[in-house]
């Protein structure tokens, strides 16, 4: 019998979906970034839960305040990808018995600060004893079917874009866990990227208002896996022409004999948005976001995810963050 590290998170989730009774009234299919309940007249009650476990999700050096805030950012990022504003958050905490009162205060201050940063409030939750610090957050928001951006609408010929650059968090993990060196300014920038990430809520809300997007997802599991998730749920593929990598990541990779493309494609934890739209809507989409989205390629009919290089088309591997696969 297979064990979880041989199967992987996505296969386990598919198995769970096979076992769960499907709600015939559900307006959004299982597997999207949010779940939703129809309230009538197209209004949706949108829900999302996300769990952070200290031993697997908190990098060395991250404070409890930052861990609490990150747990909120993880939930908010999924709302951002659907163009829905989170209004309320429930947070359940599993804590070891030797946790100190000041530790709890620091953690809760981070949770509260994260919620208020994005205009939401923590309205309740639960506490329990656990062998590790576990933070589980459930977000709630209201939306409507007309503006909700699912993962399933990408069509061949659509453009695919992102809201920012990739690779800094992967580079930061290399620096923190493997001892790679970098200049102090780049070190500070990378530490901020991994310890104080930001959800693209304003951008997600603005993009949804255009009604131009055909699909969207957040990139917390990495750019490559996000493209594969959109590919599977929209039944399309992607030809990527440009992977947006920051200059600092390029320099860090070159100085340490690393591949900047791998850092950008397979790292994860960026919380950028990856989305598609019809080419005729390009002006509208660019106008909606202050800094403008970065167009990285187009949707194709073949179910594959490839990168256009000087050597021709090369397959982007379905790799990224997975809670169970061997690392």
Reported in sequence order, the residue ranges of the chain that DSSP labels E, i.e. its strands, are 35-40, 43-53, 86-95, 121-129, 134-144, 159-162, 213-218, 237-240, 273-277, 294-300, 305-309, 312-315
Same domain, 136 and 209: no
Same domain, 75 and 192: no
Residue 4: per-residue pLDDT: 82
Helix (H, G, I), strand (E, B) or coil at 205: helix
Same domain, 255 and 202: yes
Q: Is the pLDDT of residue 324 over 80?
A: no
Q: Is the pLDDT of residue 327 over 60?
A: no
Residue 325: pLDDT band with limits 50, 70, 90 = low
- Domain for residue 279, yes or no? yes
Residue 299: pLDDT band with limits 50, 70, 90 = very high
- Domain for residue 321, yes or no? no
HEC states along 231-286? HHHHCCEEEECCCCECHHHHHHHHHCCCCHHHHHHHCCCCCCEEEEECHHHHHHHH
Same domain, 173 and 307: yes
- Domain for residue 150, yes or no? no
Same domain, 280 and 186: yes
Residue 6: pLDDT band with limits 50, 70, 90 = confident
Same domain, 123 and 173: no
Same domain, 27 and 71: yes
Residue 302: per-residue pLDDT: 97
- Domain for residue 151, yes or no? no
- The length of the chain, given as a count of residues: 327
Residue 290: per-residue pLDDT: 85
- Domain for residue 320, yes or no? no
- Across the range 179-185, mean pLDDT stands at 86
Q: Which of 158, 160, 138 is nearest to 90 (CA)?
A: 138
Edge-to-edge strands, sheet with 159-162? 213-218, 273-277, 159-162, 294-300, 237-240, 305-309, 312-315
Same domain, 286 and 194: yes
CATH number of 54's domain:
3.30.1330.10
pLDDT, one tens digit per residue, over 29-48 is 889 999 999 999 999 999 99
- What does the alpha-carbon distance between residue 141 and residue 121 come to, in Å, rounded to a whole number? 11
Share of the chain above pLDDT 70, in %: 98
Residue 259: pLDDT band with limits 50, 70, 90 = very high
Same domain, 166 and 138: no
For the chain, the domain total comes to 2
- Across the range 100-109, mean pLDDT stands at 98
Same domain, 37 and 69: yes
- Residue at a domain's end among 144, 176, 211: 144
Domain holding 21, by residue range, is 4-144
Report the range of poorest mean pLDDT among 54-63, 131-140, 182-191. Answer: 182-191
- What does the alpha-carbon distance between residue 161 and residue 213 come to, in Å, rounded to a whole number? 10
Residue 9: per-residue pLDDT: 84
- Domain for residue 97, yes or no? yes
Same domain, 66 and 183: no
Residue 326: pLDDT band with limits 50, 70, 90 = low
CATH number of 227's domain:
3.90.650.10
Same domain, 164 and 311: yes
- Across the range 175-202, mean pLDDT stands at 92
The DSSP line for 19-41 is: HSPP-TT-SS-TTSSSEEEEEET
Q: Is the pLDDT of residue 182 over 90?
A: no
């Amino acid at each position: 019998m297979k064990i979880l590290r041989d199967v992987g998170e996505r296969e386990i989730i598919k198995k769970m979906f096979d076992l769960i009774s499907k709600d015939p009234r559900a307006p959004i299919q299982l597997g999207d970034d949010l779940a939703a309940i129809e309230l009538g007249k197209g209004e949706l009650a949108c829900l999302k839960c996300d769990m952070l476990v200290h031993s697997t999700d908190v990098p060395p050096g991250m404070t409890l305040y930052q861990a609490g805030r990150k747990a909120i950012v993880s939930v908010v990022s999924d709302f951002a990808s659907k163009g829905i504003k989170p209004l309320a958050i429930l947070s359940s905490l599993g804590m070891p018995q030797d946790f100190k009162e000041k530790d709890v205060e620091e953690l809760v201050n981070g949770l509260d600060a994260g919620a208020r940063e994005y205009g939401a409030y923590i309205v309740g939750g639960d506490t329990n004893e656990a062998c590790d610090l576990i933070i589980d957050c459930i977000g709630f928001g209201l939306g409507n079917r007309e503006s909700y951006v699912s993962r399933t609408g990408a069509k061949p010929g659509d453009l695919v874009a992102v809201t920012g650059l990739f690779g800094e968090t992967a580079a930061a993990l290399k620096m923190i866990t493997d001892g790679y060196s970098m200049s102090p300014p780049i070190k500070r920038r990378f530490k901020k990227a991994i310890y104080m990430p930001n959800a693209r809520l304003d951008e997600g809300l603005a993009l949804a208002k255009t009604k131009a997007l055909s699909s969207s997802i957040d990139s917390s599991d990495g750019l490559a896996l996000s493209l594969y998730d959109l590919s599977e749920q929209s039944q399309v593929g992607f030809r990527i022409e440009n992977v947006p990598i920051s200059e600092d990541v390029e320099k860090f990779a070159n100085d340490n004999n690393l591949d900047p493309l791998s850092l950008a494609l397979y790292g994860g934890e960026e919380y950028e948005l990856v989305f598609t739209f019809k080419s005729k809507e390009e002006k509208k989409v660019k106008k909606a976001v202050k800094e403008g989205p970065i167009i990285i390629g187009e949707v194709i009919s073949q179910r594959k995810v490839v990168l256009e290089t000087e050597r021709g088309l090369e397959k982007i591997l379905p790799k990224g963050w997975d809670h169970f696969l061997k690392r």
